[in-house]
Amino acid sequence: MPFVVAGLLMWLTRGWWLFGLGAALGLLWLMRLRGWALFLAGVLIWLAVTVAVYRDPQGDFANIVQWSWPTLLWVLVLGLAGLAATRLLQALHRRSAARLADAPGIVPARPAAPQAASAQDDGLDRYARHIVLREIGGPGQAALKRARVLVVGAGGLGAPVCLYLAAAGVGRMTLADDDRVSLSNLQRQIVFRTADAGRPKADAARDAMRALNPLVEITPLNRRVTQADAELIGQHDLVIDGSDSFATRQAINAACVAAGVPLIAGSIAQWEGQLTIWDPARGAPCMACIFPEAPVQGLAPACAEAGVVGPLPGVIGSMMALEAIKLITGAGEPLRGRMLIFDGLYSENRVMKISRRGDCPVCSGAGGSGHFRQG
């Protein structure tokens, strides 16, 4: 349909020469000219055509173009004015949205912990690459500073989550893990060093995070998180589950549903991983909607039994950290109502749509519209 409309307009305005302009721009695009450079090239070509028609309005070239030079000039001026007006409106919209959305993403507006002037200057330099991103900017970085995140598990998935969120400037993080560092962890749990062997994982990870970014507050919790920890979870804006036990994931999911807190969940085995956001309070399913029962014994063995390639938890854990930043800052489209499946052996990604179950025993009474389609 758009091609029909464009053809009709060209026929009515006798603008067939625009096909030649499009072909020239297409050639420049193939020559890797992009963005404003391609736009400027188009303006220069248009001006060249206008000048040629002006100098010889009765010549062969003018007969091919069939537009008078005043028409060419007015179309160019109106086009540039329209583009400038569009850019101005977009800038005004972004500014007004930033002012109105004092708390972008899932983090409510709350006073941030006061910091010394030197720490504020350090933060501006440290987070400069975030601040210049249009989707994050100053309001998003401020939301990261206000955020309170609970990370469950400092193992393969939790390690990159801890490092990236600490580096990103998440203001307050609680790290729960009841395990100790062993040499077999070091093949994939990059937050630890050989000297950490035998130490509680939560304490060792806290030290690594503080060494990376002393501006964030980290609370280690040397125990498991259970279904009875809804109050603890309710003190946080977001929970990230990097545990490796189905029973533990079930308990964390139930506690997050009870507290109304979104849960980023990832899992890995051998060469494959998966990632989603359980958030029934905002229309997405919870874990029990999709996995109501534990897998049959031996169907989903733990990494200690089946093995796992070292970089895989880094890939999935980094994606979990990315989803956390998106949720906190309000950037992009998080994985609510979708599950990402990653196959590291064949370098393939798949995204499946998932939806809530009306009869889910865990979240059927939770809020949210449940508007995601079955997929």
Tens-digit pLDDT profile for residues 66-107: 788 888 888 888 888 888 888 888 776 665 544 444 456 778
Nearest CA among 367, 373, 361, 375 for reference residue 283: 367
Percent of the chain at pLDDT exceeding 90: 57
- Estimate to the nearest angstrom the gap between the alpha carbon of 89 and the chain centroid: 25
Q: Report the share of the chain in percent with pLDDT over 70.
A: 84
Residues 262 and 329 in one domain: yes
Q: Which of the four pLDDT bands, split at 50, 70 and 90, describes residue 375?
A: very low
DSSP annotation of 308: B
The total number of structural domains in the chain stands at 2
Q: Are 217 and 262 in the same domain? A: yes
* Helix (H) or strand (E) run with residue 41 in it: helix 35-55
Q: How deeply is 141 buried, as exposed, middle or buried, from its count of CB atoms within 10 A (0-12, 13-18, 19+)?
A: buried
> What pTM value is reported for the model?
0.69
**174 DSSP β-pair partners:** 150, 219
- Sheet (strand 338-343) strand order: 217-221, 172-176, 148-152, 238-241, 263-269, 272-278, 338-343, 348-353
pLDDT at 317 over 60: yes
Model confidence over 101-144: pLDDT tens digits? 445 677 877 666 565 555 666 788 999 999 999 999 999 999 99
Whether residue 150 sits in one domain with residue 88: no
| DSSP strand pairing (217-221 vs 238-241) | unpaired
For residues 200 and 333, state if they share a domain.
yes
Q: Which domain holds residue 35?
A: 2-100
pLDDT on residue 101: 46
Query: Is 362 among the domain residues?
Result: no
Same-domain pairing of 270 and 212? yes
Phi and psi at 300, nearest 5°, equal -130, 75
Q: Is residue 375 a part of any domain in this protein? A: no
When pLDDT is cut at 50, 70 and 90, the band that residue 372 belongs to is very low
Tens of pLDDT, residue by residue over 266-280, are: 999 999 999 999 999
Q: Please check whether residues 179 and 297 belong to one and the same domain.
A: yes
- CA distance linking residue 90 with residue 312, whole number of Å: 40
Lowest average pLDDT, out of 40-54, 62-76, 105-119, 334-348, goes to 105-119
Say whether both 148 and 78 belong to one domain: no
- 359 is a domain residue: no
57-66, 92-101, 156-165, 274-283 — which is least confidently predicted?
92-101
> Is 150 contained in some domain?
yes
Query: Which has more pLDDT, 342 or 26?
Result: 342
Same domain, 248 and 167: yes
- Whether 109 maps to a domain, the answer reads no
How many CA within 13 A on the CB side of residue 4? 1
- Last residue of one domain, picked from the residues 100, 129, 155: 100
- Judged by DSSP in three states, 17 sits in helix
What is the token pair recorded at 348? 């393939």
Q: Are 223 and 200 in contact (CB under 8 A)?
A: no
User: Residue 119 is encoded by which pair of tokens?
Assistant: 């720490």
> Is there a domain that residue 371 lies in?
no
Same domain as 185, residue 243: yes
Residue 275 located in a structural domain:
yes
Q: 3-class SS at 77? A: helix
pLDDT of the residue at 192: 95
Whether residues 128 and 67 share a domain: the answer is no
Q: Do 177 and 318 belong together in one domain?
A: yes
Same domain, 122 and 40: no
292 located within any domain: yes
| Per-residue pLDDT reduced to its tens digit, 202-220 | 999 999 999 999 999 999 9
pLDDT at 170 over 70: yes
Helix or strand (DSSP H, E) at 154: none
Q: Are 266 and 241 in contact (CB under 8 A)?
A: yes
The first and second tokens of residue 56, run together, are 């010889």
Domain containing residue 279: CATH number? 3.40.50.720
CB 319 within 8 A of CB 331: no
